[in-house]
């Protein structure tokens, strides 16, 4: 456990944000806001920013690679990722082309996170049948693994195009690859599949006590033995708001995180979130809402419990006011990440 490399990221779905006067930004303003936030995160030394892909009114980002391209031009060190790219409803060849382009423009700072997607709007939008939700992902992740080999492609599948001795451009420089991870929810099969291909996993732990995910962590490590893979890093992603005043952070969370969960719940048949459950998520569960010290303690504790080497904080959930978003990013970069590293380094990492 010595010299463990930790990664701390910021994730956003491009939630349409609010100006400080309370008026809602346009989607266009929200997109420019996220690019400016990436610049701030880069200045603060945060390791990574990752963008989700959605196709609905709450979220401005449907084409993450274009936003990442804009970010590449105004940042220097930060990794530019997705969380997640819904590969099932995309064309792996075109995804490869976009990411190898991003690889070039960002000097190799790109990272793709493949996922089945917990939202399914992209399926009818792009003409894919939800009936094939599993099959599409299974086939396309296999195609993706093949594309990364960098050789002329020979491919035949059920849902994908046939390729014969086909080279996909721009090719990656010799010896380089597209940094690939897989985002998973609660499906054991998703973890097993990712490890089979040798892709590190990031688990969305967005509700309940994180320790509940221990069986998935155990499965991840067990799967690496099963498939003779090197021990891959493991990450988690969760929602958070970090403000100097804990009560204010809770109030912002109730106003925006709860509202967003309830809005999504309408489509999914979830019940609205109760105050009791919301407070549980802050106290013991999966919301990282509070002061920098409170959030740092919670992140460090859960990373230790679950043997995580990466933590991604989802910021700006539900939109939030511009200054609230920026405060979370600043607190995360300036105070939380250094403190978490200190807590992890000084802890009982035996």
Partner 1 sequence: MTEPIIGILGAGKLGTTLARLSVQAGYRTLIANRHAVTELKWVIDTMAPGAVTVSAADLVAQANVIILAIPLSHVAALDAKTFAGKIVLDATNYWKEVDGTVNTISSFTQSSSEVVAAHLSQARVAKAFNHMGYHDLEIEVDRHPEARRAMAFATDDDTIRPTVRTVLTGFGFDPFDLGPLRFGLMLEPGSPLFGEAITTPEFQAKIDTLYDTPFGRKIVAARGERIR
Shortest distance, position 185 Cβ to partner 1, whole Å: 8
Shortest distance, position 215 Cβ to partner 1, whole Å: 5
Helices 337-346, 292-305: inter-axial angle, 10-degree rounding: 40
For partner 1, the closer of residues 96 and 137 by Cβ is 137
For partner 1, the closer of residues 152 and 186 by Cβ is 186
E strand or H helix at 58: none
Question: Which positions touch partner 1 (CB under 8 A)?
Answer: 120, 124, 129-131, 133-134, 185-189, 192, 207-209, 212, 215-216, 218-219, 222, 226, 265, 268-271, 280, 284-285
Angle (CA) 138-144-147 rounded to 5° is 145
How far apart CA 113 and CA 329 sit, in angstroms, is 21
Shortest distance, position 107 Cβ to partner 1, whole Å: 38
Contact between 6 and 344 under an 8 Å Cβ cutoff? The reply is: yes
β-strands 179-184, 153-155: how paired?
Answer: unpaired
If you write DSSP's letter for every residue of 156-190 in order, what string do you get?
--SSS--EEEE--SSPPPTT---EEEEEE-S-HHH
How far apart CA 314 and CA 9 sit, in angstroms, is 9
Phi/psi zone of residue 165: left (φ > 0), alpha (ψ -120 to 50 degrees), beta? left
How far apart CA 341 and CA 272 sit, in angstroms, is 36
Shortest distance, position 249 Cβ to partner 1, whole Å: 22
Shortest distance, position 53 Cβ to partner 1, whole Å: 17
Distances from the Cα of 308 to the Cα of 183, 221, 303, angstroms: 14, 12, 5
For partner 1, the closer of residues 126 and 270 by Cβ is 270
For partner 1, the closer of residues 46 and 136 by Cβ is 136
| Three-state DSSP class for residue 144 | helix
For partner 1, the closer of residues 119 and 254 by Cβ is 119
For partner 1, the closer of residues 285 and 318 by Cβ is 285
**Tokens at 68, concatenated:** 């990442």
Shortest distance, position 326 Cβ to partner 1, whole Å: 32
For partner 1, the closer of residues 157 and 185 by Cβ is 185
Shortest distance, position 277 Cβ to partner 1, whole Å: 8
For partner 1, the closer of residues 73 and 211 by Cβ is 211
Q: CB-based contacts of 103: which residues, under 8 Å, 6+ apart? A: 110, 172, 176, 178
**In the chain, where do the E strands start and end?**
7-12, 48-51, 79-82, 85-86, 110-115, 153-155, 163-166, 179-184, 201-204, 234-242, 288-290, 310-314
Shortest distance, position 196 Cβ to partner 1, whole Å: 12
For partner 1, the closer of residues 18 and 213 by Cβ is 213
**Tokens at 162, concatenated:** 């046939």
Shortest distance, position 90 Cβ to partner 1, whole Å: 17
How far apart CA 86 and CA 120 sit, in angstroms, is 9
């Amino acid at each position: 456990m010595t010299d463990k490399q930790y990664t701390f990221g910021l994730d956003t779905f491009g939630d349409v944000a609010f100006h400080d006067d309370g008026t809602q930004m346009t989607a266009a303003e929200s997109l420019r806001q996220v690019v400016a936030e990436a610049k701030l995160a880069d200045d603060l030394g945060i390791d990574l920013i990752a963008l989700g892909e959605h196709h609905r009114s709450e979220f401005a980002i449907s084409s993450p690679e274009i936003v990442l391209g804009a970010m590449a031009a105004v940042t220097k060190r930060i990794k530019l990722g997705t969380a997640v790219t819904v590969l099932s409803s995309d064309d792996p060849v075109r995804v490869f082309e976009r990411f190898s382009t991003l690889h070039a423009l960002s000097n190799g700072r790109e990272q793709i996170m493949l996922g089945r997607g917990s939202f399914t709007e992209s399926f009818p939008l792009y003409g894919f049948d939800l009936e094939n939700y599993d099959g599409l992902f299974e086939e396309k992740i296999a195609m993706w693994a093949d594309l990364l080999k960098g050789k002329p492609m020979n491919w035949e599948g059920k849902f994908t195009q046939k390729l014969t001795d086909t080279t996909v451009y721009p090719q990656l420089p010799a010896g380089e690859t597209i940094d690939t991870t897989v985002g998973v929810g609660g499906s054991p099969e998703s973890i097993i599949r990712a490890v089979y291909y040798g892709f590190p996993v990031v688990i969305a732990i967005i509700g309940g006590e994180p320790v509940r995910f221990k069986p998935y962590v155990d499965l991840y490590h067990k799967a690496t033995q099963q498939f003779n893979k090197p021990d891959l890093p493991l990450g988690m992603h969760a929602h958070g708001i970090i403000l100097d005043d804990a009560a204010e952070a809770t109030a912002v969370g109730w106003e925006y995180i709860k509202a967003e969960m309830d809005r999504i719940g309408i489509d999914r048949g979830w019940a609205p979130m109760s105050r009791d459950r919301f407070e549980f998520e802050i106290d013991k569960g999966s919301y990282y809402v509070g002061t920098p010290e409170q959030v740092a303690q919670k992140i460090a504790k859960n990373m230790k419990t679950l043997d995580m080497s990466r933590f991604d904080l989802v910021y700006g959930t539900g939109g939030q006011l511009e200054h609230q978003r920026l405060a979370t990013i600043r607190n995360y970069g300036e105070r939380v990440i250094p403190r978490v590293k200190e807590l992890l380094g000084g802890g009982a990492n035996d």
